[in-house]
Every structure is written in structure tokens, then in C-alpha cells.
Copies of this chain bind each other. A is one copy, B any other.
Amino acid sequence: MKARVTVTLKSGVLDPQGKAIEGALRSLGIKGVASVRQGKVFDIELDGGDPAKAEAVLKQAADKLLANTVIENYKVDVLG
């Protein structure tokens, strides 16, 4: 089974990378980008076929490791 965990910065947390990317896009002459925030995705292959169980495992993985919940939010999508 496949799943994706998406980790994004909480709003209000400064994102130097996103800021730098904004600047870089501007200097590349790419117009119309107001702001950029960078996050991470984890594409995960799981053993077994129970989506509910998969979701539980991934929540645990995200809480314990994949996200730093002090500054990050996460979202789990089991894709089946």
C-alpha cells in the first residue's frame, strides 16, 4: 500500500528557505509569485492492506519522527 505524509511549516514560523526561493524566483525574472513556503513529502510503501491501520502507523511515524510538531504540521494520505 502506498501513502504520502506531507509536512509543512506552521503559519507564523519563519521559513528562510521559502524566503530565499522567493528572492531567487524574482531575480530569475519569474513574476507573480507573492510568497513561497517549503515543506516535505514522504512517499511511503507499507506492508499489509488495511488503510485504517496504515493511517495509524503513519500518524505514529509522523508524531515520533517525520514532523517536528513544535514548528510543523503534517497530513497523512493513504493512497491505497
Residues in chain A within 8 A of chain B (CB atoms): 6, 8, 18, 21, 24-25, 28, 30-48, 53-54, 57, 60-61, 64-66
Contact = CB atoms under 8 A, between A and B. Distances in A.
B39 A40 contact: yes
A30 to B, nearest CB: 5
A66 B30 CA distance: 12
Interface centre among A32, A33, A35, by most B CB within 10 Å? A32
11 contacts: A8-B43, A28-B61, A28-B65, A33-B46, A35-B44, A37-B42, A37-B43, A38-B43, A39-B40, A39-B42, A39-B43
A38 to B, nearest CB: 6
Q: What 7 pairs across the A-B complex have the smallest Cβ distances?
A: A34-B45, A39-B41, A35-B45, A37-B43, A32-B47, A30-B61, A32-B57
